[in-house]
Structure 1
Amino acid sequence: MSATLALVVAGCSSLGAPQSASVTPDIPSGALAPIQRTTLTGLAVQSQAPAPDLWTRMRAGFSMPDLDSGLVQDREQWYASRPDALWRMTERSSKYLFHIVEELERRGMPTELALLPFVESAYNPAAVSSAKAAGMWQFMPATGTYFELTQNAFRDDRRDVLASTRAALDYLQKLHDMFGDWQLALAAYNWGEGSVGRAIAKNENLGLGTRYTDLTMPDETRWYVPKLQALKNIVSNPKAYGVELADIGNHDYFETVAITRDMDVALVAQLAGVSESDFRLLNPAYKGPTIFAAATPEVLLPWDNAQTFKANLSQQRDGRLASWTVWTAPQKMAVSEVAKKVGVEEKVLLSVNTIPRGMLVDAGAALLVPRTASLLTDVAADIAHNGQLKLAAAKSQSTTRRVTVVARKGETVATLARRYKVAAADVAKWNKVGRNAQFRTGQRLVVYQAIKSAKQQSARK
C-alpha cells in the first residue's frame, strides 16, 4: 500500500512542476494513520439580519467606557421614577434618532452619543435655554457660527435637524481628538474646551489626576456625564428599571425633499398632507411663514408624506407658491413708514417680523413683506443667506429705551413681562429665549420700556 501511495503522491507532484530525474518525493516513513472523523466547534455564524428595532441597533454600538459613581445611580433613580416623562421623551426622539444613529455608525463614533440630546434638550429641536443655546444639541450662537450654522432673519440652523447633527458630531469628534477621552470630550462640550484644558493643566501642575472624575468643575458639568451614563444604563436594560421606551423602528422616519421655488410653510404642509405644527417639528429652523429656496433647497417630510408632496406639487398650477418676500430698508425708518410703503398693516409687519413696539427699522434691515400677485421672482441667494433684522432704539420721548434689569429668584419670561407691563413675546424676543424660559437669579436681562414711564418703572425695581 505504501508503494502505491508513493506513486500517487509523486504523480500529483509532477502536475505542478516539470519532471526531473533529480527530484525525489519526500515520503514520511512508517505507516500512515487512517483519517479520523471529527466535529468542528467554535465557529459561530454571524447573523446578517438587521436589528429588530433601533434600540437594539444602538445598544450594539455602545463603546464608551462606563462611569460608575453615586451620581450615576442618583440619575438612574431620577429617570426611573418618571416613567411617563421618559416614555414621552423617547417618543419625541423617534423622528430624529434613526438619522443620528446612522451618522454615528458612518463616522465610527460611539452610539451612546445619540442619547446626548436627551440630556441637552429632551430631544426638543426648538428648545432655547436661558443662556441662548438653541436646538436639540444646544449650540450657543458663537459656536454655531464656528461650525457654519446659519443664523439670520429667516432661519436658525442651530435648530435644523441635519445641520445641527452634522455640526454636533463634528464638534464631539474634534473634542475627542483633542483630549483622547470621551468623558473629557463630553465635559468640554458642556463646559467649553478651554475650561477643560485649563482644569487639566491645573491638575498636572499639582501632580493630580487628569481624568474626568479628577477635575474640579461646575456642578452642571459634574452631573453631565452621569446623566448620559444613567440613560445608557436604562436603554441597555429598561426592564431592570421598570420603564418602557417608545417603539422606534430600525428605518428612516423622514425623507429629504427638494425645494426649487420659494414656498409658504403652510402650502408645503398642505401638499404633504401634514399639519403645519408637525412640519415644523421636522423643520424647526424656519422662523417665518415662507421658505426661501436659494438658502433652503430641501425640507424634511415623513416618508409617506414625501411621496404625497411630490405628487401634489407636480399638479400645482399656481405660478406663485409664496405669499411673502423680502424687502430691504434703504435707511432708518419707523415701522409705520415701512408699513405704508409696502402696503401692509403695521401690526402685521410687527408680528411677522417679531419687531418689538417702539423700535425703528435700521438701514439694511431685511424684512418679510407681502408678495404681490405679479411678483414671481424668488428671493435672491445673498439676501436669503445673509439677511438680518436690524433694529434701532427710537430716540423720541414718546417711544422706548433699553433698560438692563436683574432677574429675581424664580423669574420667568411671563413674570418679567408682568413686572414691566410688556408682552411676554417681546421679552422672549429681546432676550433671545423661548416663551417658557426661566432665568437664573441675578441674570442680567433686557427690557424696552416707554421713556415717559421710566421713572415709575425705576421705582418698581
Structure 2
Amino acid sequence: MKSNIYKILKASVFCALMLSFSFTSLAQKKANPSPVDEDTYDPIIAALDSLVSLHYVQKVSESSETGYPESEFSGSEIPVYDNDIYAKRIQKIQTDIPLTFNAEVKEYLDLYALKRRSLTQRVMGLSELYFPLFEQILDEQGLPLEFKYLSIVESALNPTAVSRMGATGLWQFMLPTGRMYNLKVNTLIDERRDPVKATYAACEYFKDMYAIYDDWLLVIAAYNCGAGNVNRAIARSGGKKTFWEISPYLPRETRGYVPAFIAVTYLLNYSAEHNLTPIAPDLSYFETDTVMVDQKMSLRDIASTIDMPLEQLTYLNPVYKRGIIPDSEEPSMLRLPLAKINTYLSNVEQIYQKNELTTSPLFVTVSKPEASKVSYTSGQIKKRHHIRSGENLGTIANKYNCSVTDLKRWNNLHSSHLRAGNYLTVYVKGQKKSDEKTVSTKTVKSNTGTETKSTETTPSGSVTPAAPKTTSYSNTNDQNSRIVYHVVQPGDTLWDIAKRYDGVTVQQIKDVNQLNSNNLKVGTKLKVLING
C-alpha cells in the first residue's frame, strides 16, 4: 500500500515539474496541416540538415563506399511500395512499442526514404558508431531497444546538434531538464553531448514517464513536448489514454514526432528493401575504446602527439566544448581509436608536459613587462610517479618525503588502494638558480602622497613585500619566462591554481596579484609567472 502511494505521489510531483520544464513546445496551427511542411521550421528536418555542416560526416561521406553487395536494385533505384505492404511490414516488427501505419507515418517515410535520402544514409552509417552503445544501455535499463531510433528523430545522430530552442546533443536535452537528470554543463563541458551520460539520462526520463502513462507512445510524446502538454491533451480529449486519440490536442511538432519515430523504426528494419545503403564513418563503435584522464589536457595536444586528425578526435569527444579536458575530482573519459590507444599510453607524459607549456582559450600568454625585476628561486616541482607492482602509498610517500595525506589530497584519492600501471601526481621541493639576489628599488608616490619603495628579495629567494606594491614580476634571467593569465573558475583555490604550473607557489600568485587573502572571485584574471 505504501509503495503504491509513493508511486502516485512521485508521479504527481513529476507532472508538476514537467509543467515547468518541457523539451520543446511549438504553437499549434489553426488547421490540421501535413506533419511534414518544408515551408515552416521542422526540428526533425533541421536535425537531418545539420549533418551537412558537420565537417567530419561530410568528409567521410565523400570518401566512403556504400552499397549492399547482393542488392536486387541498381545503385540509383528508389523502390516504392503500396501502403498495405508498409502496414504488413510494420506489424512484423517485434517490439513492445505499438507501431501503426497511417498517412502521417507515410509522410515521414517519404521524408527519410525520398526527400532526404542521402542524409538518411549518413545517419545509417553513424548508427554503427552509436547504436551498439545505446543498445547496451537500453538493455541494461530494461527498456525496448527500439528507443535507439528516437535519437535519429531527435538529432540525426549529430552529437553537437543544437535546436533553435536550445536543446542539445544526441538526445536533445534542454538545459533545465538535463540538470534535473544530473547532466553537468559549464564553460568547458556539456554532458548533454556525452553519448554515455546523456543516454542514461534519457533512459531515466523514459522510465519516469512510463511510471505515469503506462504507454510507450505517450512516453515518446512526453519526451518531445513534456508531461504537462500530454496531461493537458488527455484532459482536453475527455480522458483518452492513447497517443492517436489525444494527438489532435498535442502541439503540432509532437503530432509529427511519433509518426517520425515509427517511420525511422520501419526504415532501419527494412533499409535493404528501400535500397538505402549506409555511408559508414571511418570508425565503428567496436573500433574505439576509452581511457581515463586525471589531469587537464588539450585535445589539440593529444591529436598532434598521437598523429590523429583533430577533427576526428573532437568528433569522438563532443562533451569537451572548447577542446579542453579539465581538471576534475573524478577522472575524465577520452574516446580514442583502438589503433591509437597504445600510442597515447606511451606518450601520455609528453602530452602532460605540453599542457604545462601551452595555453587554451582560458589561458592567454602575454609579453613580459620590461620593468620587471623580481626573481623567484624556490618552489615546488610537479612530478608524475608511475605505480609499480608492490608499491603502496606509504612507500611512495617515503620516496618523495611527503605524507600519505598529501598523496591522497593531490590525487583526490578516497582510499589507499593503488593499481599498478597508473600514475600519481607528486610535488617535491626544488631550487632554481638565480644570479640576482636583490631587486632594484623605485621610489613612487602612493595615493596619499607618501613615498614608498618597492620590494626586496632575501637570500633564500622569498619575497618581502612592501605596501603598496608597485613592481611587475618576471624572471630576469630566463628569457623564456612569461606571464599567463588564469581566469578563476567555480571551485578554484589558489592552491589548485598553483598546482597547475611547475615551480609556482600560492605566495607567488598572491604577490604578483597583490592579494591580501586567499579568497577568489569567479571570473577574476590572475597573473601567473611561469618559466619555460
TM-score, normalization by structure 1: 0.56
Partner SS, residue 263 of structure 2:
helix
Map of 2:273 onto structure 1:
240
1:79 pairs with 2:112: yes
Q: Distance in 2 between matches of 1:167 and 1:376?
A: 41
Q: Distance in 1 between matches of 2:335 and 2:490?
A: 34
| Per-residue deviation, 1:318 | 3.0
Map of 1:210 onto structure 2:
241
Q: Distance in 1 between matches of 2:163 and 2:102?
A: 28
Map of 2:170 onto structure 1:
136
Q: CA RMSD in A?
A: 3.9
Q: CA distance change for structure 1 residues 109 and 363 in 2, over 3 Å: closer, same or farther? A: closer
Partner SS, residue 171 of structure 2:
coil
Larger Rg: 1
Give the aligned residue type for 1:287: K
Report matched runs for 1:324-403 at 5 Å: 324=359, 374-375=503-504
Give the aligned residue type for 2:110: Q
Give the aligned residue type for 1:186: I
Give 1:229's match in structure 2, choosing from 262, 271, 275: 262
Q: Distance in 2 between matches of 1:342 and 1:178?
A: 63
Partner SS, residue 191 of structure 2:
coil
Report matched runs for 1:235-384 at 5 Å: 235-246=268-279, 252-294=286-328, 297-313=332-348, 318=353, 320-321=355-356, 323-324=358-359, 374-375=503-504
Give 1:109's match in structure 2, choosing from 139, 143, 168: 143
1:69 pairs with 2:102: yes
Map of 1:54 onto structure 2:
none
Give the aligned residue type for 1:229: I
> Do 1:61 and 1:112's aligned partners in 2 also have CA atoms closer than 8 Å?
no
Q: Distance in 1 between matches of 2:473 and 2:131?
A: 44
Structure 2 residue runs without a partner (length 5+):
1-91, 364-471, 475-483, 507-520, 525-532
Map Cα deviations across residues 261-282 of structure 1 (whole Å, 9 max, x no partner): 2111112223443222111112
Give the aligned residue type for 1:241: H
Q: Distance in 2 between matches of 1:273 and 1:259?
A: 18
Give 1:189's match in structure 2, choosing from 219, 223, 240: 223
Map Cα deviations across residues 206-239 of structure 1 (whole Å, 9 max, x no partner): 3x53210111111110010111110111111112
Q: Distance in 2 between matches of 1:389 and 1:60?
A: 54
Q: CA distance change for structure 1 residues 263 and 315 in 2, over 3 Å: closer, same or farther? A: closer
Report matched runs for 1:45-194 at 5 Å: 62-81=95-114, 82-194=116-228
Q: CA distance change for structure 1 residues 188 and 322 in 2, over 3 Å: closer, same or farther? A: farther
Q: Distance in 1 between matches of 2:94 and 2:350?
A: 44
TM-score, normalization by structure 2: 0.49
| Per-residue deviation, 1:161 | 1.5
Map of 1:7 onto structure 2:
none
Q: Distance in 2 between matches of 1:388 and 1:308?
A: 37
Judge which range, 260-269 or 139-148, deviates more. 260-269
| Per-residue deviation, 1:375 | 5.0
| Per-residue deviation, 1:156 | 1.1
Q: Distance in 1 between matches of 2:213 and 2:187?
A: 36
Q: Distance in 2 between matches of 1:122 and 1:388?
A: 37
Give the aligned residue type for 2:117: P
| Per-residue deviation, 1:149 | 0.7
> Do 1:73 and 1:230's aligned partners in 2 also have CA atoms closer than 8 Å?
yes
Map Cα deviations across residues 86-136 of structure 1 (whole Å, 9 max, x no partner): 111222333222111111122221111111111111111111111011111
| Per-residue deviation, 1:67 | 2.0
